[in-house]
Chain A
């Protein structure tokens, strides 16, 4: 996993996507990689896990080997056309530029390809060994991954079309790009993960690098009849809660097959602590 140039980290909202993305970037840096960690939706998720106030579009170093940035939505289209499609910097008139911005808002696939273009562009630069992306949530992921093919159909010729084709190949190349899907061992996140996995199996848009189940409880090695025999009180209630949850979690985990399990981190207060602990876990893995 750490040999790829681009890792997209996605999952249903609230499953710990930003925490896992941050930990993967930190773990890769520990292995000697120069890493860019990019937020595609907002800066806050990554910023709180990195322990910085805010992130901007310019990559800034947040720890040895790790730079972080957030996608600049306002200038994304301009950058995409200039750096990737290699169009001349100035469009003929203001009106054309404005019209192109409307294109981003209305045409299927355009906003997505403009957003996806940036991390793919960065992943091809020599400045980084690896780009880890806090990607859009699971519900939107497939339309982002499909965007290059959508654009190829929408725009039949020209530089935009060629660039979209190159993007599709980069995403589809398992040696270069991989997807990390984060989930929780609960009904809704698992159901959504399973349907995303089914879609990706039908349509190989990107190689699945890993499924990560977050906040998994360790077993409580006490027989049920011993728990049931305890006097009424917190000791018994905590044991019952733990064992019921563990049973539920095992049931849901079976549905996703092979997955890397990250433990529930009890009582950790700050997102920074969570990211640091998860980073250590990748080292052990």
Chain B
């Protein structure tokens, strides 16, 4: 495969995690040392991968010599960023600051960036030939790709500039003279010393800038070199998220390599508009029920096909379908089978 990273992304609830896990097993069985970095998988999928109680540390998957798995804990990662980039005293102060939690929870970009740093570490570790990243549901969209630049801005002082005026005081002492009176005034209106505390917090946060700016560059580089696969289904919300990858990424970004339509019905159902015959031995109500059932699912298959065709007409992307598995895969063979049974899926995932 061309890149060392396979990014499996898309809206929440479309089966990204399953596709990422299936890609992982397939890659490992092709003899490639593979790490799947996943987020909060469904219980049964976690059991299938044996990742029930994993932390940030990759663990080898039992029975699959080339496959490792790790969970991505975005809150822990964000704290790790502070630990890495701040000096210890400021780091302590930051992590215990009430605004820190709010920022960590609030900015999808911050979460996504933390995940990106962690991904970069795994890639640079060199132990794996392929790192497959399943993006967290809350940042399943293009936010993941835009995060490094946004976080750099956030820490570098976009907020601080708003807070203290156009010219950013280089030193704390200057801020106290320049900005504090206005913040005091605003605080009087509010009824608490909030803004002054926030200013102190942002000044602490800013000490991370040099380290983060440098790291963000390499995270960005990894993301640009990654093979990106967007997973969707034929419903409006996931489709909208998938379109954003083709419409909203800034100039010069890499467009996704493939779009996987998950939960597809057999394509041969798309042309079924009538069921010939009279059911033979079946009693009439049973025959009617079975016939109507097939016709209903056939209309659903056509709806999926139309959504796919519409997408193909609008954007230049490799499309692949993954079948609707009524029973989610519960073991490694079932995961590998998902890729094997879907024509074009392996090609879409690995190029």
Interface residues of A (CB under 8 A from B): 12-15, 18, 44-45, 48, 87, 91-93, 95-96, 98-103, 105-109, 111, 139, 143, 154-161, 184, 187-189, 191, 220-222, 226-227, 230, 234-235, 237-242, 244-245, 248, 266-269, 271
Q: Which residue of A lies closest to B326 (CB)?
A: A244
Q: Please tell me which one of the listed residues B138, B185, B294 contacts residue A234 in the complex, with CB atoms under 8 A apart.
A: B294
> Assuming the A-B contacts A98-B162, A191-B43, A234-B268, are A220 and B194 also in contact, with contact meaning beta carbons closer than 8 angstroms in the complex?
no
Report whether A100 and B191 are in contact in the complex, using a CB–CB cutoff of 8 Å.
no
Tell me if B174 is interfacial: C-beta within 8 Å of chain A.
no
Complex interface: stretch among B19-27, B234-242, B336-344: B234-242
Report whether A98 and B163 are in contact in the complex, using a CB–CB cutoff of 8 Å.
yes
| Chain A to chain B contacts (Cβ below 8 Å), 6 pairs | A13-B12, A15-B13, A102-B202, A107-B198, A154-B192, A271-B236
Q: Please tell me which one of the listed residues B13, B101, B185 contacts residue A13 in the complex, with CB atoms under 8 A apart.
A: B13
- Interface band, chain B: 35 or more
B85-129 with Cβ < 8 A to chain A: 98-99, 101-103, 105-106
Q: Please tell me which one of the listed residues A15, A106, A109, A160 contacts residue B190 in the complex, with CB atoms under 8 A apart.
A: A160
Determine the distance from Cα of A221 to Cα of B237 in the docked complex, in whole angstroms.
32
Determine the distance from Cα of A45 to Cα of B239 in the docked complex, in whole angstroms.
12
Report whether A155 and B191 are in contact in the complex, using a CB–CB cutoff of 8 Å.
yes
* Given A99-B186, A227-B290, A248-B327: 4 more A-B contacts, CB < 8 Å: A108-B102, A159-B191, A160-B190, A238-B297
Q: Please tell me which one of the listed residues A12, A103, A108, A189 contacts residue B101 in the complex, with CB atoms under 8 A apart.
A: A108
**A-B CB proximity, top 8 nearest:** A158-B191, A267-B299, A244-B326, A108-B102, A95-B182, A238-B294, A14-B13, A155-B192
Q: Please tell me which one of the listed residues A111, A156, A226, A241 contacts residue B282 in the complex, with CB atoms under 8 A apart.
A: A226
Query: Which of A14, A98, A143 has the most chain B CB within a 10 Å cutoff?
Result: A14
Q: Please tell me which one of the listed residues A105, A188, A268 contacts residue B42 in the complex, with CB atoms under 8 A apart.
A: A188
Report whether A93 and B191 are in contact in the complex, using a CB–CB cutoff of 8 Å.
no
Q: Which residue of B lies closest to A215 (CB)?
A: B235
Report whether A191 and B42 are in contact in the complex, using a CB–CB cutoff of 8 Å.
yes
Q: Which residue of A lies closest to B183 (CB)?
A: A99
> Assuming the A-B contacts A14-B14, A187-B328, A242-B293, are A107 and B235 also in contact, with contact meaning beta carbons closer than 8 angstroms in the complex?
no
Q: What is the distance, in angstroms, from B164's C-beta to the closest C-beta of chain A?
A: 8
Tell me if B73 is interfacial: C-beta within 8 Å of chain A.
no
Report whether B42 and A187 are in contact in the complex, using a CB–CB cutoff of 8 Å.
yes
Report whether A45 and B99 are in contact in the complex, using a CB–CB cutoff of 8 Å.
no
Report whether B102 and A156 are in contact in the complex, using a CB–CB cutoff of 8 Å.
no
Q: Please tell me which one of the listed residues B43, B102, B186, B291 contacts residue A187 in the complex, with CB atoms under 8 A apart.
A: B43
Tell me if B311 is interfacial: C-beta within 8 Å of chain A.
no
Q: Please tell me which one of the listed residues B162, B182, B194, B238 contacts residue A14 in the complex, with CB atoms under 8 A apart.
A: B238
